[in-house]
């Protein structure tokens, strides 16, 4: 069979992720890992989950092992609605859909809204796996000029006025891959422009809770409750990604169709892990757990930034994220982070070359560094290795 002729057009548009290729290489090499996209397993609340897993099976096994509602486990939807409302996004439980990871939420939004040739606006850089979703729906991605405070308001407004724009995808807080956040004063004007243009905004809040600097980060939707914002959140970064429990919430007339789409896709999210996550999230332990993650992660971020300053100051520039997992580093113009990678691996350190995150095509001299995946004790050595590789 000639599969190249058989593939649907949507599959032909999707490029394989360089991260997946790198994970294969890393499996065969000894390297300090700044490349991974994985949360630190030391942060998984193992004891709480062990106790919860037994309790769910003891007390609720019939429902936990049974098919469930497409929209998700009602108490978890209620919990999410309450949590979003407390964060300034008034939400009712029937506006919440539980998804199998926030990756699926992005895919469902794409399926609901995108047709071949539609335009999706994103930050530059943006989250690679979301870009792959948009490509899979044969949409065209246009990258909006982005600086250390997020997307530029004027450019965003100009793009939003163009015909064919169907979606604006943003990571408003501690984004992947740069860790930067959309400045508070830019939020309302951007949402107003989206509202005027009739373009929905997909706000991916995956890293909302991982905040290390003072201040409580707000979901984007807070900035204008009337704006057509679909808020996506996940328990992958604060509990554990392997459970695959996440959520989306949005305007009632949009969300009313999402249950059907979810049902067509995989019937519903895992009945058992939804209950497990709900038990842990609703327990008094959850806020303390997230706070303790932030304390440990702040230490790693500070250590990483300090090592970069001492070892690479003057030779490269980088973002200084207030939260999240990643920072983005720029080599001097003209250098290639992809070309440098084999040498970095020879020096025993791995990163992800940034080019694939830049729909604007300008990221060849960038690399994404995960400051949480190495152990605290490995950071200094890893940055020293990186500096040696860059020095040549």
Residues in the site for ligand PLP, rule: CB under 6 A? 37, 101-103, 127, 171, 176, 204, 206, 234, 236, 241, 246
CA distance 186 to 66: 45
Distance spanning both ends of the chain, measured CA to CA:
47
Torsion of CA 44, 323, 75, 96, to 10 degrees: -130
Q: Measured from the CB of residue 349, what is the shortest distance to ligand PLP in angstroms?
A: 21
d(CA 231, CA 221) in angstroms, rounded, equals: 7
What is the C-alpha separation between 91 and 104, in angstroms, rounded? 21
* Distance in Å, CB of 368 to ligand PLP, minimum: 11
Provide the token pair at 21. Answer: 């290729």
> How many Cβ atoms are within 10 Å of 383's Cβ, its own excluded?
26
Q: Which two tokens stand for residue 158?
A: 């100009």
User: In 36-164, at which residue ranges do the beta strands (DSSP E only) sit?
Assistant: 96-99, 119-123, 140-144, 146-147, 150-151
**Minimum CB–partner distance for residue 321 and ligand PLP (Å):** 13
> Of the two residues 91 and 175, which places its CB atom closer to ligand PLP in the complex?
175
Comparing CB distances to ligand PLP, the nearer of 89 and 109 is: 109
Whether omega for the bond prior to residue 125 falls within 30 degrees of 0, making it cis, is: yes
On whether the CB atoms of residues 318 and 328 are closer than 8 A, the answer is yes
* Residue 70 or 206 having the CB closest to ligand PLP: 206
CA pair distance 168, 244, nearest whole angstrom: 25
Closer CB to ligand PLP, residue 37 or residue 323? 37
Q: Which is nearer to ligand PLP, 36 or 91 (CB)?
A: 36
Of 247 and 289, nearer to ligand PLP (C-beta) is 247
Q: How far is the CB of 21 from ligand PLP (least distance, A)?
A: 17
Q: Which two tokens stand for residue 259?
A: 């249950």
In whole angstroms, how close is the CB of 273 to ligand PLP at the nearest point? 12
Determine the residue with CB nearest ligand PLP. Answer: 101
| Min CB(173)–ligand PLP separation in Å | 10
């Amino acid at each position: 069979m000639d599969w190249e002729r058989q593939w649907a057009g949507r599959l032909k548009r999707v490029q394989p992720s360089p991260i997946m290729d790198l994970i294969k290489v890393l499996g065969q090499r000894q390297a300090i890992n700044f490349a991974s996209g994985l949360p630190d397993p030391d942060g998984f609340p193992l004891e709480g989950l062990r106790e919860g897993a037994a309790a769910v099976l003891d007390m609720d096994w019939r429902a936990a092992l049974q098919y469930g509602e497409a929209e998700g486990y009602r108490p978890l939807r209620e919990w999410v609605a309450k949590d979003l409302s407390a964060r300034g996004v008034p939400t009712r439980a029937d506006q919440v859909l539980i998804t199998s990871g926030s990756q699926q939420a992005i895919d469902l939004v794409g399926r609901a809204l995108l047709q071949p040739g539609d335009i999706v606006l994103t930050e530059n850089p943006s989250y690679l796996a979301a870009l792959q979703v948009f490509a899979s729906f044969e949409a065209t991605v246009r990258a909006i000029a982005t600086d250390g405070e997020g997307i530029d308001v004027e450019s965003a407004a100009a793009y939003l006025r163009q015909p064919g724009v169907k979606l604006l995808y943003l990571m408003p807080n501690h984004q992947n891959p740069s860790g930067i956040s959309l400045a508070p004063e830019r939020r309302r004007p951007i949402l107003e422009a989206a509202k005027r243009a009739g373009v929905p905004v997909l706000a991916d809040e995956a890293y909302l809770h991982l905040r290390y600097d003072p201040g409580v980060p707000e979901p984007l939707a807070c900035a204008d409750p009337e704006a057509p914002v679909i808020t996506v959140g996940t328990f992958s970064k604060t509990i554990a990604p392997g459970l695959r429990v996440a959520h989306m919430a949005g305007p009632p007339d949009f969300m009313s169709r999402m249950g059907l789409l979810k049902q067509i896709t995989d019937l519903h999210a895992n009945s058992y892990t939804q209950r497990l996550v709900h038990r842990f999230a609703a327990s008094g332990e959850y806020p303390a757990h997230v706070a303790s993650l932030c304390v440990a992660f702040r230490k790693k971020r500070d250590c990483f930034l300090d090592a970069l300053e001492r070892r690479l100051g003057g030779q490269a520039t980088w973002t200084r994220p207030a939260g999240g997992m990643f920072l983005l580093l720029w080599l001097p113009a003209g250098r290639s982070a992809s070309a440098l990678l084999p040498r970095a691996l020879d020096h025993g350190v791995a990163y992800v070359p940034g080019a694939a995150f830049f729909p604007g095509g300008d990221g060849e001299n960038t690399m994404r560094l995960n400051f949480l995946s190495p152990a605290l004790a490995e950071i200094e050595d890893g940055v020293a290795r990186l500096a040696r590789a860059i020095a040549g």
